[in-house]
């Protein structure tokens, strides 16, 4: 990790560039107007967010941020609902951080005397008044900087839910939609020597045309939920790279390096990729656009391939004339052959569990490595080798931890349930979130499956939408598998997986809730599954709600005994499916959901966790562990 240094940043020339998904200072009305062609064109030419942001010189702007709750967006619109930052002066909003000039000046907000909350962190868990709050919150942080000539500066957000408008020193620098993917703004020419003020308008109001849409079964946590960084790069810097084994080829690294630089300076440069431990040192020459393909033959019988049993990460150095980056990268191949999933050429069973980006003990969004390691360790305690990070991109830190701890990952974008399939701007948003996810995590060995969505209703417009997403992800990364959580339908006692989208993905992956949403422990064994795809079968969800500590017989719903019996029944049902190669039961821990109001059994918690909200393991936790111990033996 690059030395994290405090407060010393200097800069000269400015080049404010857009970043993926982000837009410069346009009023939502304006953005709305050009949502059609303009937005897509703008999105199309966005440079990707900086690869390996934590590997660059940076300062974290996390900590205590002052906040103002603004349900009527008074700090953004004048009383005629016209955005202040689109007015001729561009001033007038809370982002001015204005102080009264004298006793005659009645300023109706004040950040200095406003309360603070922790960043990264959702606001819902930090103030009881905000538990159910959906709307706008203004957040302000001050920091000192000393920009340096010949350097460039980027303000980088790991994630802000859902719509963010960002201001630096009273000036709008951009906006972004999407609560789970990173975005950045170049601030080289906006950074002051000395004190700077960054203000974020975060709004988690749900809309039908958003991704995710209005209806989800998770808590709509608002705020700056992941790290905020100020990163420094040289004028010409390494913007992006992919260093991974070629598809199905354990002897060759395939990838690319992309430089970015002040206009016209990028051009051709030598860039050296070295993996000292393997004696690999290869130099490539970038073309005029700063891009070079990478193809490196690896020494025979020397590579320790990354796997859950041996999560070996190599120190990789990418060094250009002006910029050098270090990364820790695992080398592994992942592919399918008929029903089999081959990890490094060997058939593997994905012993998984689904989880949300939520620490039940808070409850709130995972705040940092401690929270994340706790969640992944619980999965490992169950003898998992795989996790489904549902239903949206989790943090980069979480994925890096999975790399380190040896957990295979299913990563997903929140194309969840019934979204507005027919709207091009909705597709652009979904495709952008998918692109941002792949761009960010494409060097992580742990990620083996990109999921393009969950339980989306079969229709021609949906299948076309999802089909395009599958094509998009394949155009970005050929080395991994593409999945989606499909739905099943029942005819009599036969549960069939039949979905035109299955043709576009590499897996027959589906959710099924035998014994909970349909049938029960007594009846469910009469059902059988029909999966007519010569693809690996992955059951992406099954489960039952159980209130931790509530005990009864195994036919009494909400009891731990019911959940436990349902797991035992489900193993028998699924083991009968010839192509079964993995599962991610729903779900590792109880999690908050506004859709679960039963006052006693739920209290706004989805209780399908194998671990309760107090961190207590339920009976089924141990039942799943022993099932996975057997599977591990079987696939030894």
Chain contacts with ligand GCU (rule: CB under 6 A)? 217, 391, 454-455, 511, 541, 586, 606, 608
Rounded Cα gap, residues 326 and 83, in angstroms:
43
Which residue number, 168 or 546, has a Cβ lying nearer to ligand GCU? 546
Nearer to ligand GCU, 307 or 511 (CB): 511
Q: How far is CA 603 from the centre of its chain?
A: 27
Q: What are phi and psi of 297, to 5 degrees?
A: -80, 130
> DSSP for 252-268?
EEEEEEEEE-STTT---
| Cβ at position 496, least distance to ligand GCU in Å | 17
Residue-wise DSSP of 517-585: TBS-TTTGGG-EEEE--SS-EEEEE----B-TT----TTSTBSHHHHHHHHHHHHHHHHTSTTEEEE--
Residue closer to ligand GCU by CB (options 511, 623) is: 511
CB-wise, 327 or 358, nearer to ligand GCU? 358
Nearest residue (CB) to ligand GCU, 286 versus 454: 454
Cβ at position 241, least distance to ligand GCU in Å: 34
365 or 444: CB nearest ligand GCU: 365
C-beta separation of 565 from 519 below 8 A? no
Q: How many Cβ atoms sit within 10 Å of the Cβ of residue 109? A: 16
Whose Cβ is closer to ligand GCU: residue 175's or residue 606's?
Answer: 606
C-beta of 20 vs 484, nearer to ligand GCU: 484
Q: At what angle do helices 424-441 and 460-476 cross, to 10 degrees?
A: 30
DSSP one-letter code for 423? -
**Distance of closest approach, residue 4 Cβ to ligand GCU, in angstroms:** 36
Angle at CA of residue 302, ends 300 and 308, nearest 5°: 120
> Minimum Å distance from CB 392 to ligand GCU?
11
In the bound state with ligand GCU, the residue whose beta carbon lies nearer, of 138 and 510, is 510
**Is residue 200 classed exposed, middle or buried when 0-12, 13-18 and 19+ CB atoms within 10 A define those classes?**
buried
Choice between 126 and 454, CB closer to ligand GCU: 454
Nearer to ligand GCU, 157 or 527 (CB): 527
Nearer to ligand GCU, 151 or 608 (CB): 608
Report d(CA 359, CA 126) in Å as an integer: 13
Q: What would the two tokens of residue 224 be?
A: 């700056």
Cis peptide before 329 (omega within 30 of 0): no
DSSP single-letter state for residue 278: G
Shortest distance, position 426 Cβ to ligand GCU, whole Å: 20
Which tokens is 536 given? 């690996």
Q: How far is the CB of 539 from ligand GCU (least distance, A)?
A: 12
Nearest C-alpha neighbor of 182 from the set 486, 469, 435, 548: 435
Minimum separation from the CB atom of position 391 to ligand GCU (A):
6
The radius of gyration of the chain's CA atoms, rounded to the nearest angstrom, is 25
Q: In whole angstroms, how close is the CB of 506 to ligand GCU at the nearest point?
A: 20
| Least separation in angstroms between CB 437 and ligand GCU | 18
Three-state DSSP class for residue 163: strand
- Minimum distance from CB of 529 to ligand GCU (Å)? 16
Residue 516 CB, nearest distance to ligand GCU (Å)? 8
* Rounded to 5°, angle at Cα 384 from 382 and 389: 110
User: Between 567 and 586, whose beta carbon lies closer to ligand GCU?
Assistant: 586
Whether the ω angle into residue 212 lies within 30 degrees of 0, i.e. cis, is yes
- Please state the closest distance from residue 217 (CB atom) to ligand GCU, in A: 4
Give the separation between CA 635 and CA 629, rounded to whole angstroms. 10
Here the tokens at position 565 are: 């019996």
- For the residues of 576-616, what is the DSSP string, one character each? TSTTEEEE--S-SB-EE-TT---TTTTSSEE---SB-TTSP
Question: Among residues 56 and 388, whose Cβ is nearest to ligand GCU?
Answer: 388
175's tokens: 């906006």
CA nearest neighbour of 551 among 562, 539, 536? 562
Closest separation in Å from C-beta 365 to ligand GCU:
16
Question: Which of 226/608 has CB closer to ligand GCU?
Answer: 608
For the CB of residue 414, give the shortest distance to ligand GCU in the complex, in Å: 10
Q: Judge contact between 244 and 253, C-beta under 8 A.
A: yes
Closer by beta carbon to ligand GCU, 177 or else 391: 391
- Alpha-carbon distance of 373 to 117, in angstroms, equals 23
How far is C-alpha 82 from the chain's CA centre? 33
To ligand GCU, the closest distance from the beta carbon of 354 in angstroms equals 8
Query: 114 and 68 in contact (C-beta within 8 Å)?
Result: yes
CA distances from 353 to 112, 347, 449, 528, 531 (A): 44, 19, 14, 22, 21
Measured from each CB, the residue nearest to ligand GCU is 217
As measured in angstroms, the least distance from the Cβ of 417 to ligand GCU is: 8
Of 313, 159, 302, the closest CA to residue 244 belongs to 313
């Amino acid at each position: 990790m690059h030395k994290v240094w405090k407060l010393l940043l200097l800069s000269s020339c400015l080049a404010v560039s857009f970043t993926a998904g982000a837009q410069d200072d346009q009023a939502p009305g304006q953005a709305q107007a050009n949502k059609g062609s303009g937005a897509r064109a703008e999105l199309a030419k966005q440079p990707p967010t900086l690869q390996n942001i934590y590997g660059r010189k940076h300062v974290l702007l996390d900590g205590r941020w002052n906040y103002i709750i603004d349900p009527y967006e008074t700090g953004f619109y004048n009383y005629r609902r016209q955005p202040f930052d689109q007015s001729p002066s561009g001033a007038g909003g809370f982002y001015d951080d204005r102080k009264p000039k004298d006793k005659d000046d009645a300023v109706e907000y004040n950040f200095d005397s406003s309360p603070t909350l922790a960043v990264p962190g959702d606001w819902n868990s930090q103030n009881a008044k905000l538990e159910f709050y959906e709307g706008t919150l203004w957040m302000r942080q001050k920091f000192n900087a000393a920009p340096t000539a010949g350097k460039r500066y980027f303000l980088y957000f790991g994630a802000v839910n859902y719509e963010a408008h960002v201001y630096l020193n009273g000036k709008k620098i951009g906006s972004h939609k999407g609560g789970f993917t990173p975005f950045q703004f170049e601030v080289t020419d906006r950074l002051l020597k000395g004190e700077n003020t960054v203000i974020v308008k975060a709004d988690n109001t749900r809309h039908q045309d958003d991704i995710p849409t209005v209806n989800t079964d998770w808590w709509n946590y608002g705020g700056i939920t992941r790290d905020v960084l100020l990163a420094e790069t040289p004028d010409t810097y390494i913007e992006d790279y992919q260093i991974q084994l070629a598809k199905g080829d354990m002897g060759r690294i395939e990838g690319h390096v992309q430089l970015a630089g002040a206009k016209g300076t990028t051009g051709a440069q030598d860039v050296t990729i070295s993996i000292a431990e393997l004696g690999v040192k290869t130099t490539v020459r970038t073309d005029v656009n700063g891009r070079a393909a990478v193809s490196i033959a690896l020494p025979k019988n020397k590579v320790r391939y990354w796997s859950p049993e041996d999560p070996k990460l190599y120190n990789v150095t990418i060094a250009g004339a002006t910029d050098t980056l270090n990364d820790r990268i695992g080398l592994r191949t992942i592919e399918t052959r008929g029903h089999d999933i081959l990890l490094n050429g060997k058939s593997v069973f994905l012993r998984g569990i689904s989880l949300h980006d939520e620490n039940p003990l808070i409850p709130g969004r995972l705040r940092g490595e401690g929270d994340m390691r706790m969640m992944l360790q619980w999965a490992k305690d169950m003898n998992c080798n795989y996790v489904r990070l549902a239903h949206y991109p989790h943090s980069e830190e979480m994925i890096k931890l999975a790399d380190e701890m040896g957990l295979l990952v299913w990563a997903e974008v929140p194309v969840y349930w019934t979204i507005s399939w027919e709207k091009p701007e909705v597709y652009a948003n979904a495709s952008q979130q998918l692109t941002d996810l792949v761009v960010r995590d494409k060097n992580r060995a742990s990620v083996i499956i990109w999921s393009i969505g969950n339980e989306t209703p079969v229709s021609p417009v949906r299948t076309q939408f999802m089909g395009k997403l599958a094509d998009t992800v394949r155009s970005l990364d050929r080395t991994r598998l593409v999945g989606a959580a499909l739905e099943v339908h029942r005819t009599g006692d036969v549960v069939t997986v039949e979905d035109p989208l299955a043709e576009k993905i590499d897996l027959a992956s589906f959710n099924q809730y035998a014994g909970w949403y349909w049938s029960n422990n007594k009846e469910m064994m009469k059902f059988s599954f029909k999966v007519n795809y010569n693809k690996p079968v992955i059951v992406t969800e099954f489960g039952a709600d159980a209130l931790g500590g509530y005990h009864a017989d195994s036919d009494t719903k909400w009891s731990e005994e019911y959940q436990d019996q349902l797991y035992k029944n489900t193993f028998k049902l699924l083991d009968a499916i010839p192509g079964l190669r993995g599962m991610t039961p729903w779900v590792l821990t109880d999690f908050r959901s506004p859709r679960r109001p039963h006052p006693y059994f739920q209290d706004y918690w989805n209780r399908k966790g194998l671990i309760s909200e107090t961190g207590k393991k339920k009976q089924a936790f141990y039942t799943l562990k022993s099932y996975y111990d057997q599977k591990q033996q079987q696939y030894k």
